[in-house]
Structure 1
Amino acid sequence: MKLNPFYVPTCHPDETLTSFVSRVAAMASRSARDFCLDMGLNFHALRDGDPNEVGAFAELVGFDDGRFPGAILERTGDRSFKMNAEPLPRASLRRSTVRVCPHCIKADLECSADHEKVRPYGRWSWMIASVQTCAKHNTPLIVAATDDNPQMLHDFSLHLQPFAEEIDRHVAEARDRMPSDFETYVLSRIKGQPSKFWLSSLPAYAAARFCEIIGATKIHGAQVMAETLSEDEWCDAGQTGFEIAAHGPEGIRAHLNDMQRAFMETRHAWGPRQIYGRLYEWLAHETGDTAYDTLREIITEHAFNTLPMGPDDEIFGKRPTKRVLHSIHSAHLETGAHPKRLRKVLHAVGLIADEQIALSNERTLFRADDAKFYLDRIEESMSFKQARVYINAPRPVERTLLAAGLLKPWLEGGNGVLKDHSFAKRDLDEFLAALIGDALPVTEEEKILVPILRAVKMANCSTSEVVQLILDRRLGTIRMDPDLTGFLSVLVDPEEVKSLVRREDHGGYSLREVEQKLKTSTRVIKALIEYHHLDAEIAVNPINRCPQTIVKRDVLTAFMDRFETASSLARRSGSHLQTMMKRLDGLGVGPAFPKDQIPATFYELDRVRSADPDLIPTP
């Protein structure tokens, strides 16, 4: 059966199916429900866009191919619909409230194509909750009727009659407002037009609602009460949120940073709810829609990277696998260290800036990785005295080891902020483990082994040298005294130590050795050096590390090749000393050095050879 064309008004491309059904019914002076009952149709099924029912209605009104040429809102679930393949949950629609543009209604009434009572029609864009402005007439949509009577629900023409009767007043009262970029974007998405915005990775309804919520928090603060906002305020919020989200995740993160900075100026306890406010409450408790998971991930990542959240903290059901930031408060809970000491130590090592000193414990933030070394050690700290007792080292060994860099404080004192050094138990344990290693207890056959300090004296070296030999595992024999602990328990072979700490030979003769070589006295050697007849220098003894006067070997050899004592020359020539000296004196050969300088007689060998070749044969 087909309806008489008289009862079929013009169908507009942007008209909703329920609007057109209502207008057809109005032509027959029936309500939409009564008309459908008369025609054997199910208005409820038509309202939900049931394909079979829509096809039957299209055939009834005489549409070609049995297709409705306007806009169909098709139900896909209990609270979900779709239009042009774009999903639209019930919350994103205004179906029970008839919103219209008064200028559009007036223009419809002035069109002579249809009977006057059915000229106005409902546009699908008026049902979209986030669209509140007519783009054609640049005016806000207004509520023409509230569709709360079950018998009149979704009956557009029936609801609009009282409004249409006062259309001139409504037009005169209409305000001017340009449609926002946000509204234009939402409409284009539902029309199926392509978009390059990052927001387009979300369904249109999700992109729209997110813009509105994030914009509301931008304009009215994190703790905005959504139910207190007017339609105009929601319109402004949508545009503001769109401007933020149009920059993608970076724009959203920038807004989250602003929210965090605003929170830092308050005195509230920290937490995602306090910082992200309405945005967090909405995503965490008011909707479980997975379409918003991308947004949850952005906020979760931001929270993990900018808030002192650890493995025990949670947001949107997720916990960080690794802590990025600590606060004084979270570090106190984790380590048990007093907040004041934490603040003092972290400030001293530069992890807390000067401008953070006045912040509360919860708002004083620092990077967890940078602070790990200090937080691991702060509660096991020892003073210098306690550290010496712990490693069982006699005074002043601990200062010797500190000066050599073998015993290291985890926190250095004497810097104007911290008075004393602090040592960590774990660092001292590592030092002792390296010192003792896998040393076995000493046996009866190893009595030659001595404690470190005894070996130091026997080898004429420093404590730090022996300790370094042990740490470097250069000593083949290391034992421990089972009756002692720590530093004092370590036993070493002094002879092995001596061989390893001996300095490089200086390449000269000591004065005692020079005496023996020249077969003369200390007094004579000192005089030769004093009057610069024999060159000497100061060098370090390779055994006892003490400075000593030496004569280089080549210097002494050259001296002995040139000079010789009278007694040595007499013995070598087989002559009596006095006879030889008189003989040389008679030949005009006198002592090489003045008697008032050198208390011994030296002759220059070349002069002796020249004066008396028989006394010293020419080589």
Structure 2
Amino acid sequence: MSTLFPLLPFVDDETPLSWAARQAAFHTRDRVLSFLTDLGIPLVDLARGDEPAVLRLCERAGHDPAAVLRNTVSAVGGRRYQLRGLEFAAEFMTGPVTRICPACLDDDLTGARLPGAVLRHRLIWRLAPVRTCPLHGTALRDLRSGRWDDIAHELQAMTSLIDAERRVPGRARVVSPLQAYAVARLEGCPGPAWLDGQDIDQAVRATEMLGALEAFGPKLKASDMSEDMWDAAGRAGWPIVSEGGAAIREYLMARVTASRRKRAAPRAAFGMLHAWLSGSRLSKNPGPIRDMLRDVILETTPLSKGHMLLGKPVTDPHLCSVASIAKAEGLDARTLRNVLQVAGLLSPEEAEQGSNRLVVDYTAARDLIDVVKHAVPVTRLPSMLGASRPLVALLIEIGQLHRVQDHRALASKIGKAVDGRGVKPILRFPETNFQAVDEAPEGFVHLSKSAEKSRARVKFILELMFLGHLKRVYRVTGAHGFAAVVVDPEEIKALLESPPSGLSQDSYFLMG
């Protein structure tokens, strides 16, 4: 395979496409598409940064591919690209727009005998956050011819557009800290830890979005932003993000404080930042900034359970209205207001208002609400368990049922209830442990009668039963709960003579 001669060296600040366009002008005085076609290299493949296309170009040019590959932006699928080991979304680049510095191109053309062979498209001009020339300190310009081959960024085909830009005086400005960070990161230099902890495009976008909020307020839309405004946004966001997560959270909380004076909702308070992070078509992971904003909103804004917040449903709201809590927990609003008063979250006056729009700290009330949801009044237990009131009291005494223990609940009638989560296991105990019979065997009696016949305390009998010491126990079909249980008084008498271990001290004294 023949090699192009003479060699036109690759310059370490340009792109592979720029080098190909310069070779086309140098060797054939023609456009890059025809040149690459003659070499058997599809322009689209080189524009995508396909490694075989780059290696073939280097082979035909007789050039070491290392430097060329280092400047190759490669497509990795799903509108994702890679450069020097860093992956980013397509929006991190300028797309079909060709960004230039007229002063740099003036330098290229100075003394050139063949202008097309020296016009270089710099690699950093491909990057969206690079908007200022670091060499000349002027704003970069964007060119677009409107043809399909704009993807080649072929400066040699844009001479009229370039000449027009060269006649316009440059606008002086220094490179923004965000631009400097992006370029330095591609060179392998470390930056602020919070930024380095995410993809480079996530870091840049978060900085610009926070900066846009700071510089232009919450009412401006992202679609109304110019490149100069994005540059200003990056400058405004840098002091915030460079200090790390704590500073970003502090800034977001300050925005909440400022918006409260205007009674603004999160969407209005955070403007395009909120719109960006809550977009239903957000196909790219925005990075940690989304969870940070979500946490701030959760902590400071009344929300209802299930509300979609920045792409995820709210499962554990912090602040909620009485109405939304009542709906989520399935409680009567009046009962809930009483509970919130017991918890100290509503004053007696607020509870009496009857307003369901009152906002409280849901997290502080959740434990007590859980108690209320499962509380069962003691007066209901006899019918639920098929037991007498004294038997229910003994079940509580021996620890088979548990009273509500929350000290706040004890200030209300809830304190006279038991935790209903223990009722079903108690009901299942006879069903799973005792054989069912149609009639009680001869000599077998119900629990209360067995105490009389055996002269043992009912507490003693219950403890024997729950600890598994009673072997002759049956459940009569057709009866409910403990009303169905029958035991053998003779077995109880035998155990009274030699009580097993594990019983409470006062349970097995003989009845008088």
- TM-score normalised per structure 2: 0.64
Matched residue of 2:361: which SS? strand
Change in 2 beyond 3 A, CA 1:73/1:349: closer
Deviation at 1:267?
A: 4.8
* 8 A contact 1:132–1:140 mirrored in 2: yes
Matched residue of 2:82: which SS? strand
Inter-partner Cα distance in structure 2 for 1:169 and 1:4: 36
Aligned to 1:11: 10
Q: Does structure 1 residue 279 correspond to structure 2 residue 267?
A: no
Aligned to 2:393: none
Aligned to 2:62: 62
Aligned to 2:175: 179
Where relative contact order (Cα < 8 A, 6+ residues apart) is larger, the structure is: 2
* 8 A contact 1:12–1:70 mirrored in 2: no
Inter-partner Cα distance in structure 2 for 1:154 and 1:337: 67
Aligned to 2:132: 133
Deviation at 1:441?
A: 9.4
Matched residue of 1:140: which SS? coil
Q: Does structure 1 residue 305 correspond to structure 2 residue 289?
A: no
Deviation at 1:157?
A: 2.5
Q: Which amino acid aligns with 2:204?
A: A
Q: Does structure 1 residue 121 correspond to structure 2 residue 141?
A: no
* 8 A contact 1:134–1:141 mirrored in 2: yes
Aligned to 2:24: 25
Aligned to 1:85: 85
Inter-partner Cα distance in structure 1 for 2:115 and 2:358: 67
Inter-partner Cα distance in structure 2 for 1:373 and 1:67: 66
Residues 322-365 of structure 1: CA deviation (Å, up to 9, x unaligned): 443334553464576669x95x9979986479xx99xx986844
* 8 A contact 1:212–1:234 mirrored in 2: yes
Inter-partner Cα distance in structure 1 for 2:252 and 2:12: 42
Inter-partner Cα distance in structure 2 for 1:10 and 1:193: 27
Correspondent of 2:148 among 137, 147, 150: 150
Quick check: 364-373 or 242-251, which moved more? 364-373
Residues 579-600 of structure 1: CA deviation (Å, up to 9, x unaligned): xxxxxxxxxxxxxxxxxxxxxx
Matched residue of 2:189: which SS? coil
Q: Which amino acid aligns with 1:40?
A: G
What are the residue-to-residue correspondences of 1:136-535 with 2, within 5 Å? 136-143=135-142, 145-151=143-149, 153-166=151-164, 168-170=166-168, 172=169, 174-267=170-263, 273=267, 276-284=270-278, 285-290=280-285, 292-309=286-303, 311-316=305-310, 318-319=312-313, 322-331=316-325, 333=327, 342=337, 351=345, 364-366=359-361, 368-369=363-364, 373=368, 423-424=412-413, 426-429=414-417
Inter-partner Cα distance in structure 1 for 2:233 and 2:317: 34
Query: How many residues were matched structurally?
Result: 396
Change in 2 beyond 3 A, CA 1:326/1:150: closer
Matched residue of 2:212: which SS? helix
Matched residue of 1:177: which SS? coil
Q: Which amino acid aligns with 2:300?
A: T
Larger radius of gyration: 1
Matched residue of 1:133: which SS? coil
Matched residue of 1:81: which SS? strand
Inter-partner Cα distance in structure 2 for 1:100 and 1:229: 20
Matched residue of 1:165: which SS? helix
Matched residue of 1:94: which SS? coil
* 8 A contact 1:256–1:302 mirrored in 2: yes
* 8 A contact 1:80–1:90 mirrored in 2: yes
Quick check: 227-236 or 311-320, which moved more? 311-320
Deviation at 1:40?
A: 2.7
Inter-partner Cα distance in structure 2 for 1:287 and 1:31: 38
Residues 346-391 of structure 1: CA deviation (Å, up to 9, x unaligned): 79986479xx99xx9868443531586599879x9xxxxxxxxxxx
Inter-partner Cα distance in structure 1 for 2:343 and 2:317: 20
Q: Which amino acid aligns with 2:144?
A: T
* 8 A contact 1:304–1:324 mirrored in 2: yes
Change in 2 beyond 3 A, CA 1:373/1:90: closer
Aligned to 1:48: 48
Inter-partner Cα distance in structure 2 for 1:132 and 1:326: 45
Deviation at 1:186?
A: 1.1
Residues 100-149 of structure 1: CA deviation (Å, up to 9, x unaligned): 11221122222x46623332211111111112111221111112x20421
* Structure 1, unaligned runs of 5 or more: 381-409, 412-421, 431-439, 446-619
Change in 2 beyond 3 A, CA 1:175/1:372: same
Q: Which amino acid aligns with 1:255?
A: Y
Change in 2 beyond 3 A, CA 1:182/1:346: same
Matched residue of 1:304: which SS? helix
Change in 2 beyond 3 A, CA 1:329/1:159: farther
* 8 A contact 1:58–1:67 mirrored in 2: no
Inter-partner Cα distance in structure 1 for 2:18 and 2:58: 14
* 8 A contact 2:144–2:150 mirrored in 1: no
Inter-partner Cα distance in structure 2 for 1:15 and 1:88: 20
Matched residue of 1:252: which SS? helix
Aligned to 2:37: 37
Change in 2 beyond 3 A, CA 1:302/1:11: same
Deviation at 1:279?
A: 2.7
Deviation at 1:221?
A: 3.5
Inter-partner Cα distance in structure 1 for 2:324 and 2:261: 19
Change in 2 beyond 3 A, CA 1:67/1:195: closer
* 8 A contact 2:98–2:150 mirrored in 1: no
Inter-partner Cα distance in structure 2 for 1:316 and 1:202: 19
* 8 A contact 1:152–1:159 mirrored in 2: no
Deviation at 1:200?
A: 0.6
Aligned to 1:387: none
Deviation at 1:161?
A: 1.0
Matched residue of 1:132: which SS? coil
Q: Which amino acid aligns with 2:22?
A: R
Inter-partner Cα distance in structure 1 for 2:148 and 2:315: 53
Deviation at 1:260?
A: 2.6
Change in 2 beyond 3 A, CA 1:281/1:166: closer
Change in 2 beyond 3 A, CA 1:32/1:117: closer
* 8 A contact 2:70–2:84 mirrored in 1: no
Deviation at 1:263?
A: 3.9
Q: Which amino acid aligns with 2:17?
A: T
Deviation at 1:151?
A: 4.4
Change in 2 beyond 3 A, CA 1:114/1:94: farther
Q: Which amino acid aligns with 1:13?
A: D
Residues 184-217 of structure 1: CA deviation (Å, up to 9, x unaligned): 1111112222234211111111111121122223
Aligned to 1:568: none
Matched residue of 1:120: which SS? coil
* 8 A contact 2:192–2:244 mirrored in 1: no
Inter-partner Cα distance in structure 1 for 2:108 and 2:357: 62
Matched residue of 2:302: which SS? coil
Aligned to 2:486: none
* Structure 2, unaligned runs of 5 or more: 376-406, 419-446, 453-512
* 8 A contact 1:102–1:167 mirrored in 2: yes
* 8 A contact 2:221–2:272 mirrored in 1: yes
Deviation at 1:178?
A: 0.9
